[in-house]
Amino acid sequence: MPKLLTLIVPTYNMEALLARCLGSLVLADAPALMTQVEVLVIIDGATDGSSAIAHRFQEDYPQTFRVIDKENGNYGSCINRGLQEAQGKYVKVLDADDSLNPAAFRAYLEMLATLDVDLVITSGSYVTSDGTPHGEWKFDYDSEGHWPIEELKPLWIHYVTYRTEILRQIGYRQTEGISYTDEEWCFYPVAAVREFYTLPVALYRYTVGREGQTMNPGQWIKAIGNEIRVTCGMLDYLEVGQWRTSRAAVYICQKVSTRIASFYRRAMIDFALYNNAELASFDQFLAQKNPEIFAELADVQADSKRFPFRFVRYWRRNHRHLNPYMNRFRLYRFWLKMRALKH
């Protein structure tokens, strides 16, 4: 039977949460709908019980689940293998520590069966590892429906469902061997998209606060070079210039500049990396590579109207002299912490 949707589930040592993830895809009250879904569980050289868990789902639901065991190649290699194997008209990535809302999943599939678009955007929520709700992310459009690509707003990987053929037409391959490549999924393919559909269902459940998560401070600081490498790839793409003929040109350009601004904010404001050599080296590289974005960063302010702080400009002037100039960073971070406790 032709598949409507392929879900790619990159999996590395996730035995604690994988059963929750895959169990959320079992539509016991809609077996016919479930057979239209292909779930590719890509076991990325896992050394725990992840593969055994995935194989149990494959045995119980062979028309839906398929396990692919391979050597470790990191996140991007799982996406690439999944795209190579995908049989669905549409494709979506589901991380093994996350899950889908079963009720929303059914509504999503029913709507997906009626569509013929390049990109579908859905909403979602945050949960803890034990499933406790932790808030929702806001759906960024006024209503459900079709939109021209010129109306596209910032994307996160978990918002996104692509028509599989779009990715194959452009020969999409995600960077392998490193972490933090997820934003490539929301960047390179967009140049080929003509229109998208917004479906305001809270489909995706993103797990927060898990130890070892790539967005945890310790993990992120250790792998900051990976973030820089992904960003340099995007800057190279801008330099080639083919994207300028795309209807998504505005989105593509803004995606790079907002990504870099967010990267600087996380490094300096969130994680206090005032004297990080990799960050300083990247800033010098950016000045040569893209002077326009480099100049824009000087006016970026931290997120406070009451305490305006052009932190990149200040850092560029003073980061070689940590004391007393970096005290302003410390004071600002302390103020943010106090504000968070107050609210």
- In the block, residue with structure tokens 């955007």: 121
Region of 149 on the Ramachandran plot (φ > 0 left; ψ -120 to 50 alpha; else beta)? alpha
My answer on whether 188 and 321 are in the same domain is: no
Does residue 234 carry a pLDDT above 70?
yes
* Mean of all residue pLDDT scores within the chain: 90
Nearest to 75 by CA among 144, 146, 177: 177
Domain presence at residue 212: no
My answer on whether 194 and 236 are in the same domain is: no
Cα separation of 248 and 274, whole Å?
A: 35
Which pLDDT score is estimated for 129? 86
Rg (CA), the chain: 21
My answer on whether 235 and 256 are in the same domain is: yes
- pLDDT band for 303, please (50, 70, 90 cuts): low
Which pLDDT score is estimated for 221? 86
Cα separation of 139 and 13, whole Å?
A: 31
My answer on whether 254 and 180 are in the same domain is: no
- pLDDT band for 306, please (50, 70, 90 cuts): low
Which pLDDT score is estimated for 215? 57
Which pLDDT score is estimated for 25? 98
pLDDT tens per residue across span 206-231? 998 766 555 566 678 888 999 999 99
Give the CATH number, domain containing residue 162: 3.90.550.10
Residue 190, Cβ density class (10 Å: 0-12 exposed, 13-18 middle, ≥19 buried) = buried
CA dihedral sign of residues 26, 31, 33, 36: positive
Which of the listed residues 181, 207, 233 is the one where a domain comes to its end?
207
My answer on whether 66 and 192 are in the same domain is: yes
Which of the listed residues 154, 186, 207 is the one where a domain comes to its end?
207
- Greater confidence (320 vs 239) lies with 239
My answer on whether 233 and 251 are in the same domain is: yes
My answer on whether 233 and 330 are in the same domain is: yes
Q: Which domain holds residue 276?
A: 217-342
Q: Mean pLDDT over residues 83-107, rounded?
A: 97
User: Domains in the chain: how many in total?
Assistant: 2
My answer on whether 108 and 83 are in the same domain is: yes
Which of the listed residues 147, 181, 207 is the one where a domain comes to its end?
207
pLDDT tens per residue across span 122-144? 999 999 888 888 888 877 888 89
